[in-house]
Amino acid sequence: MSSVKSFKPEFPANAGTKEYAASLDAADPLASLREKFIIPSKANINSKKLAKPGLSSEPCIYFCGNSLGIQPKATARYLEAQLDTWSSIGVSGHFIDLEDSPLKSWQLLAEQAAGSMSKIVGAQPEEVAAMGTLTANLHLLLASFYKPTATKHKILLDWKAFPSDHYAIESHIAWHELDPKESMVLIGPNEGEYKISTEKILSYIDQHADSAALILLPGIQYYTGQLFDIQKITAYAHSRNITIGWDLAHAYANVDVKLHDWDVDFAAWCTYKYGNAGPGAIGGLFVHEKHGRVDYSEGEDAPKFRHRLAGWYGGDRSVRFKMDNKFKPIPGAGGFQLSNPSAIDLACLCASLSVFDETSMADLRKKSIKMTAYLEHLLLKDTSDETRPFRIITPADPESRGAQLSLLLKPGLLQNVSQKLQEGGIVCDKREPGVVRVAPAPLYNTYTDIWMFVSYFRAALDETLLKN
């Protein structure tokens, strides 16, 4: 969450017109960033054939960046540069920086990506590593940070954790021959609510302070879109002597976070959602500098460092190829690396990061708050709680949400409404039993997109209700 208090934007009486939406687009200082992306066409998203991008076709309305972001135009150029490096100089691509290439040598490519990602997550470059995938990175971090004892063995997590997080936590507890029923503590909302208040999370920390070894929470809860108060919860966990980590899958490249300043112990994220690095793209992790130090006070051959599941790519480059099996970890998050990372994956990640390098998370967040508020305004306009066939379960406070609004439809509406949106050239996702997740991304979506979505959505609801 941003340290600067943000206030929900207000909109005039004519905000429900397409002309007003167009005026917002015309005044948008980040509007040119949309040209950095390939927007899928309406024709292609409903086609069953592999097709080239429909550059001259009408673009779809893509509100699914919370699941998979769209392709930056730079991706093809960065991939071509990597392939040309491989084809022209072979193994030397590991060590030679080629002129006119946007990419560093393969040995330095992960650091190139980490440098740009560190600005997105509010970290020092050495606190970030581009590596692995989200769940694999969570496993590696849990192996290092979850150190249960007979008295402190519990892990606190949210009630509706993404399945991978739940499985990872459950498996680490079982690995230590503990019972997940005793060592997993799920924090849920009050009856009839969806938001988990910060006060309730803090109360659970108090309740389990003497028996908790670790807390792992999502920066943004994937189902409801709630943004947790990372700064406050982290500080409180530390005041009770509990290590805390964050899954930033839905927060990375979505909201403005300050992992270093907020003293977060560790974090992990994927890069294919708001980060636009491609399906299954290489992930990222953060380890605070205090946990990444390497102490050589007892000699070069006896480094002291935080235990982790180590691999040779976590070793210092200066001795990496000595092959003497004496592990000298890179200080910081880089020391958690395992294997030679895929240069192709890193090329895609660096391509997407080249767009983020042209702006800032503060500016993106400012636009996102306005876009999400406009979406909310149009959805609720001229309706009432009694007559509205859906409920917004994402918190109304801009400080407690990112770019996503989760719309809980009344029973029996989800399938038909989702189908109608798809037929209308609108891409957003659904979560059973009744939620449509709508995520306008400030990098490439427009206010006109939002206006058109609400028009289609209301028409789909009306048609479905008539059928029922």
Tokens of 328: 């000298």
* Residue at token pair 């592990």: 327
Joined together, the tokens standing for residue 339 give 């294997």
Measure the CA–CA gap between 461 and 42, rounded to whole angstroms: 21
Instruction: Say if strands 128-130 and 71-72 run parallel, antiparallel, or are unpaired.
Output: unpaired
Is 163 annotated as a binding-site member? yes
Q: What are phi and psi of 439, to 5 degrees?
A: -135, 90
Q: Is 377 known to sit in a ligand binding site?
A: no
Reduced 3-state DSSP string for the chain? CCCCCCCCCCCCHHHHCHHHHHHHHHCCCCHHHHHHEECCEHHHHCCCCCCCCCCCCCECEECECCCCCCEECHHHHHHHHHHHHHHHHHHHHHCCCCCCCCCCCHHHHHHHHHHHHHHHHCCCHHHEEECCCHHHHHHHHHHHHCCCCCCCCEEEEECCCCHHHHHHHHHHHHHCCCCHHHHEEEECCCCCCCCCCHHHHHHHHHHHCCCEEEEEEECECCCCCEECCHHHHHHHHHHCCCEEEEECCCCCCCCCCCCCCCCCCEEEECCCCCCCCCCCCCCEEEECHHHCCCECCCCCCCCECCCCCCCHHHECHHHHCCCCCCCCECCCHHHHCCCCCCHHHHHHHHHHHHHHCCCCHHHHHHHHHHHHHHHHHHHHCCCCCCCCCEEECCCCCHHHECCCEEEEECCCCHHHHHHHHHHCCEECEEECCCEEEEECCCCCCCHHHHHHHHHHHHHHHHHHHHHC
Query: Residue 135 annotated as binding?
Result: yes
Confirm or deny that 272 is annotated as ligand binding.
yes
164 is known to lie in a ligand binding site: yes
162 assigned ligand-binding residue: yes
Please tell me whether 148 is known to bind a ligand.
no
**Residue 14 labeled ligand binder:** no
Q: Please indicate if the annotation marks 405 as binding a ligand.
A: no
User: Among 254, 364, 238, which residue's Cα sits nearest to residue 291?
Assistant: 238
**Annotated binding-site ranges:** 134-135, 162-165, 247, 250, 272, 312, 340
**Annotated binding-site ranges for pyridoxal 5'-phosphate:** 134-135, 162-165, 247, 250, 272, 312, 340
